Amino acid sequence: MRGYVLLACALLVASALQARGQQAASASAAPVGSAPFNDSIRKADLKADIDLMAGDRTRGRFIGTEQYAWTADFIASRFARLGLKPAGEAGTWFHEFDLVAVTAGRHNTLEVAGSDGTTWRPQHGQDFHVHRFGASGRVQAPVVFAGFGITAPALGYDDYRGDVKGRIVLILDHEPGERDANSPFDGVVTAEAAVPFRKVLAAQARGAVGVLFVSDVHNHRGPSSFAAAAAAYWPEVTPRIDRYFLRDFLEQVRIPAAQISPSLAATLLQGTGKTLDRLASASESAAGGTVVPLAGQSVTLTTDVVRHVIPDRSVLGLLEGSDTTLASEVVLISAHHDHNGADGNQIYNGADDNASGTAGVIDIAEAYTLAAQAGRRPRRSVLFAVFGSEERGPLIGSWAYTERPSRPLDKTIAVINMDMIGRHMEVPAGGGARFAGLPVQTAESNRNSVNVIGGSRAPTLKAAAERANQVFGLTLKTDLDNNGSNLLRRSDQWPFLQRGVPAIWFHTGLHPDYHTVFDRPEKIEYDKMERIVRLVHQLSWDLAQ
């Protein structure tokens, strides 16, 4: 059926593309140094693409739906019609990967045996709950405390100074210096090393057989009701928007993991003569800490988690470079096309998030192919990537790509990501957790602004963006890299930064319609969006040359 969908998509766009190509071919020659056919990127074309991808008939492009699959096929058909080369697996347009949703089985138990011969059996959902990212299994072992459970060799940081082989490790949530803007762990942005499943992998690599997490009570007192928090983690009814993981990641985890209440942790720590508060506070170290054995305590942990696999795919198209030496290197231009679907008649159209960025990728690809037809092919190759499942996980599609890239990451000289490039940033007073860490600001104050996120990690890219912007006169804001909003890690440039690839994100900012049914095509600021897409095209051309 997918082949027929691709054919239908191709027929749908063929006449529009022919008209657009004729218009672009008649455009005046670009000045020397300007990206050729930059003026072929037009707001009318961007609007047509957004209207199609974010219209009601695509019903919010939620993973696993026909409309989601149709959107990916539509993007592939556009790439094909433009004349790009398929850059996916086995000569296709698609980079395939699997999501995993997890449900709790019936056999999740924990037993604590004390040195005095007493046994305590805490209840799942009351005193502890298993984690989705842990493996199923049964382990019985002594317990050791290992601070935040982080190993970061590049920072000279290690919480595993001591032997944890064959032990169950008790570790704190979050990271040291969590609220310190000068913390080497990415300032106030949540560091990748602090992601819970990565902590499990770190413990597993040191020989631990299981992991127990507890709140870092010196920074976060923990939930007022652990039972309520456990019920929220494992709701009785699966929510419409579930939580997902990348299968490639979960298959690396071979040991069980669970969250325990601070009161249960206090019981485990009784033999140390130290409180959880004291141990947690002492874990705020610049270099890590020494493993603390919990004398006399043995834990038996049984976990039963059921993994459900959901296939997904990203769309990849390539324009090959002209230079025999440099063509093996790529500039990657990206966006994501998934959104939050529909709830009955309530459709989360996702026009800004992120039909806007996807339309930008398509129209930049068109400018490049028009230039190639006119004999102006860039020296380096340009890879156009529209990732799936950015909203789920999050960033599952781009993480999957960095796990199995279609072009070597050490040959990827830059990633330019577009996500939400169609509005003005607006942070209302009392906006709540959705806007945490961001100062109150009006849309009018950001009428000419676009945020460039990631420049602190890729200063050469930031400088190149500033040079390219001299023609377009946008206000480039660069103050969100070290911000409690965590925006730095909330779009598809983040996995590339973690793999050492220079990457930046163009983002016009959050607004009250973000992730609501009001993020519709008619609210896009097309004049501004046209300038942003032209800027990204110019920047990518400069890098490809």
CATH classification of the domain holding 269: 3.50.30.30
What does the longest C-alpha to C-alpha distance in the chain come to? Answer: 88
**Does any domain span residue 30?**
no
Q: Specify the pLDDT at position 14.
A: 43
- pLDDT above 70: residue 142: yes
The helix-helix angle for 356-373 and 66-82 (nearest 10°) equals 20
Q: Do 66 and 161 share a domain, yes or no?
A: no
Measure the CA–CA gap between 409 and 403, rounded to whole angstroms: 10
DSSP 399-440: HHHHHS-SS-GGGEEEEEEE-S-SS---B-TT-GGGGTT---
Q: Do 270 and 319 share a domain, yes or no?
A: no
Task: Give the mean pLDDT of 192-203.
Answer: 97
Q: Do 467 and 386 share a domain, yes or no?
A: yes
Task: Give the mean pLDDT of 139-156.
Answer: 97
Q: 23-80: per-residue pLDDT in tens?
A: 333 333 444 589 999 999 999 999 999 999 999 999 999 999 999 999 999 999 999 9
**Does any domain span residue 29?**
no
**Does any domain span residue 6?**
yes
**Does any domain span residue 28?**
no
Q: Do 476 and 523 share a domain, yes or no?
A: yes
Q: Do 294 and 338 share a domain, yes or no?
A: no
* Cα of 475 vs its chain's centroid, Å: 25
> Residue for token digits 């896009």?
524
- pLDDT above 50: residue 8: no
Any idea which of 30-39, 93-102, 384-393 has the lowest mean pLDDT? 30-39
Q: Specify the pLDDT at position 271.
A: 84
Q: Specify the pLDDT at position 9.
A: 46
Q: Specify the pLDDT at position 11.
A: 39
Q: Specify the pLDDT at position 6.
A: 40
Looking up residue 534, the CATH number of its domain turns out to be: 3.40.630.10
pTM of the predicted model over 0.85: yes
Q: Specify the pLDDT at position 32.
A: 53
Task: Quickly state the pLDDT bin for 411 (edges 50, 70, 90).
Answer: very high
Q: Specify the pLDDT at position 22.
A: 40
Task: Give the mean pLDDT of 476-487.
Answer: 96
Any idea which of 13-17, 75-79, 211-215, 529-533 has the lowest mean pLDDT? 13-17
Q: Do 239 and 118 share a domain, yes or no?
A: yes
Residues belonging to the chain: 545
Q: Specify the pLDDT at position 18.
A: 44
Residues 356, 5, 3, CA angle at the centre, nearest 5°? 125
Task: Give the mean pLDDT of 258-281.
Answer: 94
Query: Per residue, what are the HEC states of 97-147?
Result: EEEEEEEECCCCEEEEECCCCCEECCCECCCEEECCCCCCEEEEEEEEECC
Q: Do 175 and 251 share a domain, yes or no?
A: yes
Q: Do 284 and 318 share a domain, yes or no?
A: no
Q: 253-262: per-residue pLDDT in tens?
A: 999 999 999 9
Give me the chain's average pLDDT, please: 93
- pLDDT above 90: residue 174: yes
**Does any domain span residue 31?**
no
Q: What b-and-e string marks burial along 341-380, b requiring 16 or more CB atoms within 10 Å of the CB?
A: bbeeeebbbbbbbbbbbbbbbbbbbbbbbbbbeeeebbeb
Q: Specify the pLDDT at position 117.
A: 80
Q: Do 328 and 378 share a domain, yes or no?
A: yes
Q: Do 492 and 436 share a domain, yes or no?
A: yes
Last residue of a domain, one of 303, 334, 349: 303
210: containing domain? 106-303
> pLDDT > 90: what percent of the chain?
91
Q: 327-371: per-residue pLDDT in tens?
A: 999 999 999 999 999 999 999 999 999 999 999 999 999 999 999
Q: Do 229 and 320 share a domain, yes or no?
A: no
Last residue of a domain, one of 278, 303, 328: 303
The helix-helix angle for 2-25 and 356-373 (nearest 10°) equals 60
The count of domains in the chain is 2
Q: Specify the pLDDT at position 17.
A: 43
Sequence-ordered list of residues with C-beta below 8 angstroms from that of 224, at least 6 positions apart, any chain: none
**Does any domain span residue 175?**
yes
**Does any domain span residue 265?**
yes
Q: Specify the pLDDT at position 13.
A: 45
- Among 412, 389, 392, smallest CA distance to 402 is for 412
Q: Specify the pLDDT at position 221.
A: 87
Task: Give the mean pLDDT of 131-152.
Answer: 97
In the DSSP assignment, the letter for residue 269 is T
**Does any domain span residue 461?**
yes
Q: Do 446 and 499 share a domain, yes or no?
A: yes
- pLDDT above 50: residue 278: yes
Residues 300 and 111 sit within 8 Å (Cβ to Cβ): yes
Last residue of a domain, one of 262, 288, 303: 303
